[in-house]
Chain A
Amino acid sequence: MSRAVEESNRAMLRARDAMDRSYADPLDIPALARIAHVSEAHFIRTFRSTFGETPHRYLQRRRVERAMYLLVQTGQDVTEICYQVGFSSLGTFSRTFRQIVGESPSEYRSRRVPVDVPSCFVKAWTRPSSFG
């Protein structure tokens, strides 16, 4: 693998880390492309080839993972969590959550108990998979 691919991977990872940090903000492809030092079209294509999914799908999973965390760890109501993690409508949130997790936010909440381990592992391991 060339040095260029390593640098590209690392740049994509830096952009993905930025999405992880500001997951509740709208998806800002131009800003992410700037972080990765590539054009917008190149960013989406390269992100997908690097991580196996589009930036949009990654952000959805990140938001749903945060929602899963908040549903279990807090007593906030579902609507509040929906907006807090970056969804702008409860309908979209509920539909996306069910599509990714396989059950509604309330059903998910009722079946889980809180855990407390370092956030980076919670983030990585509770993020619902795109890959079956």
Chain B
Amino acid sequence: MGMTLNALTRSQIYVLDQDQALDFYVGKLGLEVHTDVDLGFMRWLTVNVPGDKGREILLEKPGPPALDPATAEQVRELLTKGAMGGWLSITTDDAHKTYETLVAKGVDITDEPTEKSYGIDFGIRDPFGNKIRIGQMRQQG
């Protein structure tokens, strides 16, 4: 094949407000801030699952100059309708306990925990409209 890709290290989702995103992803979900720096042209804000610094999620605010104002508006509209396509899948040791904790924190639930062939998982939504799946996976093999 001539080349080898090694790992997925960074991915991105849009958020409407980075402070609110921090409150949700760090304050409620318990992710860690990986990098939070003002680059001048943008605030580079990434988070990671605790202990997994090799995989960052960029919480990007749509707007100029990366996107023209009209396009940024379209992104904001799609995001708040749940149609932007941002999606994260995160694992946990105990799906039911995590679910109860997030319910107590007032997080929006889209699916209750359900048993699947691959484990137990449930769905939540961030304050902006992105989908997040949290699963307790069965041991493979």
Q: A6-B16, A118-B133, A119-B121 are in contact. Are A21 and B80 (CB under 8 A)?
A: no
Contact with B along A58-73 (1 / 0, CB 8 A): 0000000000000000
Contact with A along B115-135 (1 / 0, CB 8 A): 011100101010111010101
Which of B77, B116, B118, B131 meets A5, CB within 8 Å?
B77
Which of B16, B77, B118, B135 meets A116, CB within 8 Å?
B118
- Alpha-carbon gap, A9 to B87, bound state (A): 18
Interchain nearest-CB distance for A24 vs B (Å): 12
Residues of A within 8 A of B108 (CB): 14, 17
- The A contact surface, by secondary structure, is helix
- The B contact surface, by secondary structure, is strand
Chain B interface residue count, CB cutoff 8 Å, equals 27
* Contact call A21/B131, Cβ cutoff below 8 A: no
Q: How big is the A interface, by class?
A: 20 to 34
Q: A6-B76, A10-B129, A116-B118 are in contact. Are A51 and B111 (CB under 8 A)?
A: no
Residues of A within 8 A of B109 (CB): 17, 21
Q: A50-B81, A51-B81 are in contact. Are A120 and B131 (CB under 8 A)?
A: yes
Task: Give the nearest-CB partner of B128 in chain A.
Answer: A10
A40 on the interface (CB 8 Å rule)?
no
A53 on the interface (CB 8 Å rule)?
no
Q: A10-B128, A13-B125, A116-B117 are in contact. Are A21 and B81 (CB under 8 A)?
A: no
Interchain nearest-CB distance for B4 vs A (Å): 27
Which of B82, B114, B129 meets A119, CB within 8 Å?
B114
B110 on the interface (CB 8 Å rule)?
yes
* Contact call A118/B77, Cβ cutoff below 8 A: no
> Residues of A at under 8 Å CB distance from B?
1, 5-7, 9-10, 12-14, 16-17, 20-21, 50-51, 116, 118-120, 123
Which 7 residue pairs of A and B lie closest in terms of their CB atoms, listed nearest first? A9-B80, A1-B73, A10-B80, A13-B82, A6-B80, A116-B117, A9-B81
List 11 extra interface pairs beyond A17-B108, A116-B116, CB under 8 A. Answer: A6-B16, A10-B80, A10-B129, A16-B82, A17-B109, A20-B110, A21-B110, A21-B112, A116-B117, A120-B123, A120-B133
